[in-house]
Amino acid sequence: MEVITWTGELACHLQAAHRMGREEFAGRLGVHPQTVAGWHARPGIVPRSDMQAALDTLYEKAPAPVRLRFARLAQPPADTTAQALRVAIAVVRRGAEVLLVQRRDDGALRWQFPAGIVKPGGSSEAVAIRETHAETGIHCAVEQPLGSRLHPVSGATCDYFLADYLTGEAANLDTAENASVAWVPVASLTRFIPADRIYRPVLDALGATA
């Protein structure tokens, strides 16, 4: 690990890697122990140029185990913030019908709109179109976004898109995840998906009643 600029924090990591007390570490560097105490108190401080050179020398002369410990101590902490799950959902209509897939869900079968997970930096709209075709063989085009919400069951962030049917025959192309695919009359939608689980703007866009 190459250190471009030593800070108080990195100097303290070097001390810890050497497993030295404050006075011993100060003696190796030829400074007063109060200087080392200052690094502990102000980890963001940048030591003067002669001290940078002294720290360089101590690090360069350190045996391999010390360097390894220093590298581990100086490594920035991993980002443990979980990436929120985002799902793109396509509400594909064809006349008075809407496209549904019957998902295998922990042993149960549940009807839902075609959907796919959006990777970080990905386009929800593109995923909605792509996953609809991958799951059902249906080509569609997004007419308009319908908004986003936290799904009441899964807790995922869901982006909804109203889409128009273009071409293709509905077929179950993802048999591992889905049991069936069907065009369902909009008027019968809530017989397949409970109304309280359907995003209200979806019902409004389709002209369906809850």
Q: Per residue, what are the HEC states of the chain?
A: CCCCCCCHHHHHHHHHHHCCCHHHHHHHHCCCHHHHHHHHHCCCCCCCHHHHHHHHHHHHCCCHHHHHHHHHHHCCCCCCCCCCCEEEEEEEEECCEEEEEEEEECCEEEEECCEEECCCCCCHHHHHHHHHHHHHCCEEEEEEEEEEEECCCCCCEEEEEEEEEEECCCCCCCCCCEEEEEEEEHHHHHHHCCHHHCCHHHHHHHCCCC
Task: Average the pLDDT over 25-32 and give the result.
Answer: 92
4 has pLDDT over 80: no
Q: What's the confidence (pLDDT) of residue 176?
A: 79
Centroid of chain to Cα 31: 46
Task: Average the pLDDT over 132-149 and give the result.
Answer: 95
Q: What's the confidence (pLDDT) of residue 46?
A: 86
Could you tell me the pLDDT band of residue 83, with boundaries at 50, 70 and 90? low
Q: What's the confidence (pLDDT) of residue 108?
A: 84
Q: Which of 17-26, 72-81, 84-93, 187-196 has the lowest mean pLDDT?
A: 72-81
Could you tell me the pLDDT band of residue 81, with boundaries at 50, 70 and 90? very low
Task: Average the pLDDT over 38-56 and give the result.
Answer: 88
pLDDT tens figures, 97-113: 999 999 987 678 999 99
Q: What's the confidence (pLDDT) of residue 151?
A: 82
Cβ atoms of residues 148 and 125 within 8 Å? no
Q: What's the confidence (pLDDT) of residue 2?
A: 65
d(CA 60, CA 43): 21
Q: For the chain, give the mean pLDDT.
A: 89
Q: Give the residue among 180, 143, 174, 177 at the shortest CA–CA distance from 160.
A: 143
91 has pLDDT over 80: yes
Cβ atoms of residues 92 and 98 within 8 Å? yes
d(CA 178, CA 114): 10
d(CA 41, CA 122): 43
pLDDT tens figures, 109-137: 999 999 998 988 889 999 999 999 999 99
Does the model's pTM come out above 0.75? no
Q: What's the confidence (pLDDT) of residue 208?
A: 75
Q: Give the residue among 66, 77, 49 at the shortest CA–CA distance from 14.
A: 66
Could you tell me the pLDDT band of residue 74, with boundaries at 50, 70 and 90? confident
The tokens describing 50, both together, are 């002669």
d(CA 27, CA 142): 70
d(CA 143, CA 201): 14
d(CA 9, CA 72): 13
